Amino acid sequence: MLINFLANQSFVLENCVIFGVFDDKILSKDAENFSKNYNNLLEYVINKQNFKGDFEEVVSIPVNHPIIDQIILIGLGKKEEINPITTRKIGAKITTLLSKIKNESVSVDLSVIHKADFPNSVAMSYVAEGISLRDWDFDKYKTKKKSEKLVKNIKILTSNSEQSEYLYNQLSAGVEGNKLTRHVVSEPPNVIYPESMAEEAKKLEHLGVRVEVLGIKEMTKLGMNALLGVGQGSTKESRLVVMQWLGDEDKKEAPLAIVGKGVTFDTGGISIKPSNNMEDMKYDMAGSGVVLGLLKTLALRKARVNVVGIMGLAENMPSGSAQRPADVVVSMSGQTIEVVNTDAEGRLVLADAIWYTQDRFKPKAIIDLATLTGAITVALGFEYAGLFSNNDELANRLFDSGLAVDEPVWRLPMGKNYDKDIDSDIADVKNVGSGRGAGSITAAQFLQRFVNDVPWVHLDIAGMAWDKKGKPLTGKGATGFGVRLLDEFLRKHYG
Ligand code: BES
Ligand code: ZN
Ligand code: ZN
């Protein structure tokens, strides 16, 4: 899709014209004028078809006009409920509508959207964001594509094209990062594995991202035995990727660090998973996918902030060389870990990745993202990511950013009594709790043992990284959840 903004002064003639209508059924000026010339066609259709202007209600009207083929009325619902979230959804709805029609040139007139605290020019940037977010699918491996994809030209009327363009430029960096995340998460595990993920990171160098890749040798030297243990059963070698976007005027200013779990396939290892749905475990690298996408976003919008992105990459396979349940490993921190269950591998990867990050970069804050536990979907379903933190301010800021971009997070408790549950009889800590409950919390407690005195947030995105039913903004499959959340958080608080 090609999106352009046009200051709304005069009616734009295109093959397909989309008018937004609230439930008050008041038409925009252009819609009204057009209708007048056509025997009050729009009012007639609204009455005849009982169009109520409900949110996302659609009526399509073929017209006999030298240029316009069809007019689409899209319901906007209640005026007081229009906000960034609902306008993005309208944008996404427009994309799904357009995917079903052949018209190449489209004009979108949502000029009825204007409120004192939500000017039309701002609203139209969010509409464009929604259009663009929804305009993505993964058909790389289809030899017969669904339909020949036409690049559609979309003209969005706006009260101020410069303002809409400026804001949309910022937002579209987040959309591009989100799409990169969705891409790598959708790729199969024979294509995306630790080394090839590292190659994906290298591709960001031309945007100004510094990329370093640590192999087995370097990680062994650093003592990252927790991470290495996870990958030791696989023929694919583990990697740790360090990406740096230094956008602050002072390149020495302490960075914010984002750390992602990148288990490129999680069979469970010797504690092997049942075969049912095991294929889902290709998205067990989604946390690292978000780190990759976010670094792209920051580079695209030339964010004025220093950020390090760390991807801990390993493939969890069963084999003769795989780690055993009962193995004890010495992590980079020096703490010993009893590996009771080889399927609780994400925390082992993160233990070393987090330790390395704080040790080397002394960051202002660490945020990790991981598809860490199935238990988080028992607690929160597929509506919120779980948030765990040692810092209320950081937790609250991320909560607010989640609401702003419609990638919501919900905080869960941590505490000493949960922590006791992971004490090991023979080592410092074990990688699963003794009790049955609170699986996501004990996982977070495990991570916290590797976090020193630094503000830290852990986001368990196991329920949010992939969607089987289809989300309004991102459809089915990989969602890229986390990129826009962290971009908003960084933009708002750091630049
Ligand atoms: N990758 C899984 C968690 C997961 C489950 C992600 C479903 C996405 C969807 C993780 O490595 C895992 O296997 N966790 C175990 C932990 C258990 C062994 C304590 C789980 O959730 O069952
Ligand atoms: Zn696992
Ligand atoms: Zn896993």
Residue 414: predicted pLDDT? 98
Distance in Å, CA 462 to ligand 3 centroid:
9
**Ligand 1 pocket: which of 264, 340, 372 to mutate (most atoms within 8 A of CB):** 372
Half-sphere exposure of residue 297, counting CA atoms within 13 Å on the CB side?
32
CA torsion, points 202, 207, 209, 215, in degrees to nearest 10? 0
Residue 346: predicted pLDDT? 99
Distance in Å, CA 348 to ligand 3 centroid:
10
Distance in Å, CA 268 to ligand 1 centroid:
8
Instruction: Look at ligand 1, atom 14, and give the residue with the nearest C-alpha.
Output: 373
Instruction: Look at ligand 1, atom 17, and give the residue with the nearest C-alpha.
Output: 344
Ligand 1 atom with minimal separation from the 273 CA: 13
Q: Rounded distance, CA 398 to CA 239, Å?
A: 29
Q: Rounded distance, CA 294 to CA 178, Å?
A: 8
- Sign of the CA dihedral with 51 first, then 54, 58, and 60 last: positive
Around ion ligand 3, residues with a beta carbon closer than 5 Å are 263, 266, 284, 346
Active site residue 149: no
The residue from 25, 79, 202, 273 that is catalytic is: 273
Ligand 1 atom with minimal separation from the 316 CA: 11
Residue 14: predicted pLDDT? 87
Instruction: Look at ligand 1, atom 3, and give the residue with the nearest C-alpha.
Output: 373
- Provide residues with CB under 6 Å of ligand 1: 266, 280, 284, 341, 343-346, 371, 373-375, 432, 439, 462
Distance in Å, CA 428 to ligand 1 centroid:
22
Distance in Å, CA 284 to ligand 3 centroid:
5
Ligand 1 atom with minimal separation from the 433 CA: 19
Q: Phi, psi (5° rounding) for residue 145? A: -70, 150
Q: Which stretches within 236-391 are classed as H helix?
A: 286-300, 346-361, 375-380
Instruction: Look at ligand 1, atom 8, and give the residue with the nearest C-alpha.
Output: 462
3-state SS assignment for residue 276:
coil
3-state SS assignment for residue 170:
helix
3-state SS assignment for residue 386:
strand
Q: Rounded distance, CA 340 to CA 325, Å?
A: 5
Residue 145: predicted pLDDT? 79
Active site residue 273: yes
Ligand 1 atom with minimal separation from the 283 CA: 8
Q: Rounded distance, CA 318 to CA 95, Å?
A: 43
According to DSSP, residue 210 is labeled E
Ligand 1 atom with minimal separation from the 341 CA: 18
**Ligand 1 pocket: which of 373, 429, 447 to mutate (most atoms within 8 A of CB):** 373
C-alpha distance from residue 328 to each of 225, 349, 355 (Å): 10, 14, 18
Name the one residue in this structure whose structure tokens are 């919501």. 408
Q: Rounded distance, CA 132 to CA 333, Å?
A: 43
Instruction: Give me the residues paired with residue 240 across strands.
Output: 214, 312
Residue 436: predicted pLDDT? 77
Assess contact for 115 and 76: CB atoms under 8 A. Answer: no
The residue from 155, 347, 430, 449 that is catalytic is: 347
Q: Rounded distance, CA 30 to CA 12, Å?
A: 9
Distance in Å, CA 472 to ligand 1 centroid:
26
Assess contact for 432 and 407: CB atoms under 8 A. Answer: no
Residues of the chain short of pLDDT 50, as ranges, are: none
Distance in Å, CA 495 to ligand 3 centroid:
33
To which H or E segment does residue 106 belong?
Answer: strand 105-109
* Ligand closest in space to the Cα of 262: 3
